[in-house]
Amino acid sequence: MEFRFGNTTTIQVNVPDRATLVDSVTRRLAARQGFALATINLDHLVKLQRDPAFRLAYAAHDLVVADGNPIVWLSKLAERPVDLVPGSDLVLPLARLAAETDTRVALVGSTADALDGAARSLVREIPGLQIVAQLSPPMGFAPTGPQADALLADIAASGAGLCFLALGAPKQEMLAARGRTIAPGVGFVSVGAGLDFLAGQQVRAPAWVREITMEWAWRMLSSPRRLLPRYAACAAILPGEALRALAKRRA
């Protein structure tokens, strides 16, 4: 499944399911080969349409999975089906892969408290996991400036081979793309609120809500002032994306 922006940039969901992702990440970690993994959703599509720098960063990612049921639905409309692979669900399984391959892990997030809580949860769940860096950038952090370069250099110097980025889009994806140059031996995984969920800083929707594909409503009700405009923008682009998906099916 792919999304085209103008005549120059195409973003492709190139990892169709979780099994393929686990296989690819396992091979890369075992070979100490860096990568950048993005989890595309409707909010990202809105930002990608508006922000050329974000498009360039996304295009530099090695692996892209479908994070959001609308992306899965669009892929089925286009007859290029992919499975749902939420970014928030990737932290624990990928951290287990890190432990199995003796790969050290770095955590980058919004607050030191969230990182401490996530680290405690991960170490409790995964014996042998080595967390060698916990970095919380200051307010106003730019993912493409000198501060970003210094942070990425710190990650590389820590010996980490896998780094979870929980800074929100577009910061985390732009930082991951820059990391492919500055810390090429590190696998960067953008996980949004994944670390906050582990730390208990945010409460995720119950499993039954996720099963009926209503997690977006749960989240919106938990923070309507912040999320209502975001989801309105997502709803606005969905009809056009559906028409483009149907056009791909005819092609």
Residues 29-51 have pLDDT tens digits of 999 999 999 999 999 999 999 99
pTM of the model: 0.93
Statement: residue 220 has pLDDT above 80:
no
Statement: residue 227 has pLDDT above 80:
no
**Mean pLDDT, range 141-162, rounded to an integer:** 96
Pick from 199, 185, 192, 188: nearest CA to 164:
188
Confidence of residue 221 (pLDDT cuts 50, 70, 90): low
Q: End-to-end distance of the chain based on CA atoms, in angstroms?
A: 13
Q: How far is CA 229 from the centre of its chain?
A: 21
Query: Among 90-104, 119-133, 201-215, 237-251, which is the least confidently predicted range?
Result: 201-215
Cβ distance 134 to 22 under 8 Å? Answer: no
Neighbours of 227 (CB within 10 A): 17
Confidence of residue 209 (pLDDT cuts 50, 70, 90): low
What's the mean per-residue pLDDT of the chain? 91
pLDDT recorded at residue 228? 80
Q: Which two tokens stand for residue 199?
A: 């730390």
Q: What is the DSSP secondary structure assignment for residue 138, as one 8-state letter? A: P
Statement: residue 116 has pLDDT above 70:
yes
